[in-house]
């Protein structure tokens, strides 16, 4: 019989007692009443079958040292929602409390597990493997899916999101301790990518009412466990090489706070083992995203922590409502909540926690009807300054692309620098703007706002050129604005060698580009190609398309990665292809693709 009462509020797996070696005493241990904590999370918007827009969120209530879940039957919720279309400072419009539909429970969802396997965990691997398997078993038993990411000097996805128990078990069994540094932030980002890739396949669902949207919305989260400090997600300690290739992207703490899936901020649950962990940093990350941070000082508590993690997608308060007609686009939503314990677990009756926070979200608007002549969309998977192109040729490529996407002659061009650029190829935006200006166009350069472009910022322009030379785009609002702009007759260019996907795979770029992302091309045909370590050969198409006029068949070297993509079911026209220099039989892949919406 499990006799320990040291952690009376935790769910223990059956074999924990034997691993602890029994209990020193059966005398009850007096502990302080555990605190109650409450967090609003997974604020999300969805579309109704008749064009309505639904808003939903969850409130996670926990208690105790390891923050075990307080179920809806053990707590009560008070909630106020308001929205602002005028920015974070308001004014805010209250949503009627009578229209808030409340429920309890959780739909099947997904967890991405990140395990720091860098070498600092040498003494913890058996417990981590057993505990991770326990969590995955619970996830799969509840009809959900899990993925696994291993962190060492670099991070690697060992298993994509799946419900395959055998495959996940094999991935866990194959983990090993490898002395090295710790690319923890990369691992958390990659974990989010496994969630995003799966979610994109289910995008576009419409719901009959707010209640069905609320209860059908899948729960998701990233669970990261470490006993060390992040120190190599930007190759601070160890540069990428053939042994530790990385994925070509540096990840910073600020990048993790922006991780989303389908417009929902991803809750990040972090578990830190011992004193070497940056507990304050991880706690800040978890709090910001709606997750939880646990500090573990006893290796045996690993089992308890993972068991509690398994509860986080279960009992919780859910609230849904419908937004007023016409309310969409960039919104700030204010959430005020208070959760009180009923006293059955987690403290005396009335023990409570409250929160007051404003969240930004992009609520997609209905697609405007296309004009008789929609603008063109060109995707250039190139950083212009990484291509060995003579200046006159670069100027011709930029100018002829702008002319083709535009529906007017002598278009006014807005060049937008995506704010997720990480300073890679820093001169690329200026290079593009100068090439267009010297070709005779009126050009304005704009830094992308924090939450993305707004429609008013593209008014008065005929072409918008979005440039992010070396990183994926991170704002769905910008892409939504540009697609609406193209449907209404404006021209759009997406330019940069990671333009076929979004940060963390938060949303799909396929509707914009006509391309389906496969990888970011840091390795292709057995050759590493990122950051000048190898070279692609790019070949311009033959034919009569205006963009390649005067450059037919031109070849040039490209000294960085290029996204590996395939064409969608509504394929664009490809005007340039790339292959790896010096590798016989290496298949060409699209580099410049164009279409009209």
Phi, psi (5° rounding) for residue 504? Answer: 70, 10
Give the list of residues 6+ apart from residue 141 with CB closer than 8 angstroms, or none. Answer: none
Q: Which of 583, 550, 39, 561 is nearest to 286 (CA)?
A: 39
Here the tokens at position 203 are 């995008």
The tens digit of pLDDT for each residue in 85-121 reads 999 999 999 999 999 998 886 666 788 999 887 765 5
Alpha helix segments (H runs only) across 45-154: 125-141
Query: What pLDDT is attached to residue 572?
Result: 96
The tens digit of pLDDT for each residue in 416-436 reads 999 999 999 989 999 999 999
Architecture of domain 376-596: 3-Layer(aba) Sandwich (3.40)
CA 440-470-183 angle, 5° bins: 165
Query: What pLDDT is attached to residue 360?
Result: 93
Query: What pLDDT is attached to residue 16?
Result: 29
Return the beta strands (E) in 419-529 as ranges.
442-447, 463-467, 491-495, 515-519, 523-524, 527-528
Query: What pLDDT is attached to residue 7?
Result: 31
> How many Cα neighbours within 13 Å face the side chain of 399?
20
CA distance 294 to 276: 14
CA distance 392 to 431: 12
Per CATH, 32-105+315-361 and 376-596 having the same topology is answered: no
From the options 1.10.3210.10, 3.40.630.30, 3.30.1600.10, 3.40.50.410, give the CATH code of 107-307: 3.40.50.410
Give Cα separations from 574 to 500, 502, 508, 588 (angstroms).
Answer: 14, 21, 20, 11
Determine the 3-state secondary structure of 243 from DSSP.
coil
Helical packing angle, 428-438 and 391-405, nearest 10°: 80
From the options 2.60.40, 1.25.40, 2.40.160, 3.40.50, give the CATH code of 32-105+315-361: 2.60.40
Here the tokens at position 444 are 């304005």
DSSP 408: S
CB 548 within 8 A of CB 541: yes
The neighbour count for residue 9, using CB atoms within 10 Å, is 20
Per domain, the residue ranges of the chain are 1-31, 32-105+315-361, 107-307, 376-596
Residue with tokens 């686009």: 329
CA distance 385 to 497: 11
Give the list of residues 6+ apart from residue 580 with CB closer than 8 angstroms, or none. Answer: 524, 525, 527, 529, 534, 535, 536, 537, 586
Give the list of residues 6+ apart from residue 327 with CB closer than 8 angstroms, or none. Answer: 53, 83, 85, 363
- Flag residues of the chain having pLDDT under 50: 1-33
């Amino acid at each position: 019989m499990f006799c320990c009462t040291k952690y009376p509020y935790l769910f223990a797996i059956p074999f924990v007692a034997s691993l602890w070696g029994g209990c020193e005493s059966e005398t009850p241990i007096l502990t302080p009443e555990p605190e109650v904590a409450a967090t609003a999370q997974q604020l999300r918007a969805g579309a109704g079958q008749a064009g309505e827009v639904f808003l939903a969120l969850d409130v996670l209530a926990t208690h105790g040292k390891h923050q075990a879940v307080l179920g809806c039957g053990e707590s009560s919720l008070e909630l106020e929602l308001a929205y602002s279309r005028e920015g974070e400072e308001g004014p805010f419009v209250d949503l009627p409390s009578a229209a808030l539909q409340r429920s309890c429970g959780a739909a099947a969802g997904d967890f991405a597990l990140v395990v720091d396997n860098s070498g600092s965990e040498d003494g913890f691997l058996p417990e981590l493997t057993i505990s991770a398997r326990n969590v995955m078993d619970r996830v799969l038993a509840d009809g959900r899916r899990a993925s696994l990411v291993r962190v060492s000097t670099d991070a690697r996805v060992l298993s994509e999101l799946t419900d395959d128990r055998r495959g996940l078990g094999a991935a866990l069994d194959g983990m090993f301790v490898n002395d090295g540094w710790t690319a923890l932030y990369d691992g958390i980002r990659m974990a989010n990518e496994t969630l995003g890739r799966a979610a994109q396949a289910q995008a576009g669902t419409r719901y009959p009412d707010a209640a069905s949207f609320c209860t059908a919305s899948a729960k998701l989260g990233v669970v990261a466990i470490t006993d060390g400090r992040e120190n190599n997600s930007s190759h601070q300690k160890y540069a990428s090489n053939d042994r530790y290739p990385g994925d070509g992207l540096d990840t910073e703490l600020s990048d993790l706070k922006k991780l989303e899936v389908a417009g929902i901020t991803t809750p990040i649950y972090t578990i830190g083992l011992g004193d070497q962990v940056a507990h304050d940093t991880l706690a800040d990350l978890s709090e910001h995203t709606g997750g939880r941070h646990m500090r573990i000082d006893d290796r045996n508590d690993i089992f308890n922590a993972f068991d509690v993690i398994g509860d986080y997608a279960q009992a919780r308060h859910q609230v849904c409502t419908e937004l007023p007609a016409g309310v969409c686009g960039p919104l700030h939503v204010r959430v005020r909540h208070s959760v009180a314990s009923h006293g059955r677990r987690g403290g005396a009756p009335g023990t409570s926690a409250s929160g007051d926070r404003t969240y930004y979200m992009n609520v997609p608007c209905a697609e405007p009807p296309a004009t008789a002549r929609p603008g063109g969309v060109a995707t250039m998977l190139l950083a212009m300054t990484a291509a060995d192109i003579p200046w006159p040729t670069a100027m011709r490529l930029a100018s002829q692309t702008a002319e083709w996407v535009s529906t007017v002659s002598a278009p006014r061009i807005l060049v937008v620098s995506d704010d997720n650029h990480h300073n890679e190829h820093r001169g690329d935006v200026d290079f593009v703007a100068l090439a267009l200006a010297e070709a005779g166009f009126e050009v304005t350069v704009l830094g992308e706002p924090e939450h993305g472009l707004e429609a008013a910022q593209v008014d008065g322009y005929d072409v918008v050129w979005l440039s992010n030379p070396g990183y994926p785009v991170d704002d769905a609002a910008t892409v939504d604005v540009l697609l609406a702009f193209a449907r209404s007759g404006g021209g759009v260019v997406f330019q940069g060698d990671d333009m076929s996907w979004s940060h963390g795979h938060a949303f799909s770029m396929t509707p914009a580009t006509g391309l389906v992302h496969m990888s970011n091309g840091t390795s292709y045909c057995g050759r590493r190609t990122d950051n000048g370590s190898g070279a692609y050969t790019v070949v311009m198409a033959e034919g009569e398309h205006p963009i390649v006029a005067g450059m037919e068949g031109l070849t040039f070297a490209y000294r960085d990665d290029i996204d590996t993509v395939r064409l969608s079911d509504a394929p664009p026209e490809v005007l340039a292809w790339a292959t790896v220099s010096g590798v016989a039989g290496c298949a060409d892949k699209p580099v410049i693709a164009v279409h009209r919406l």
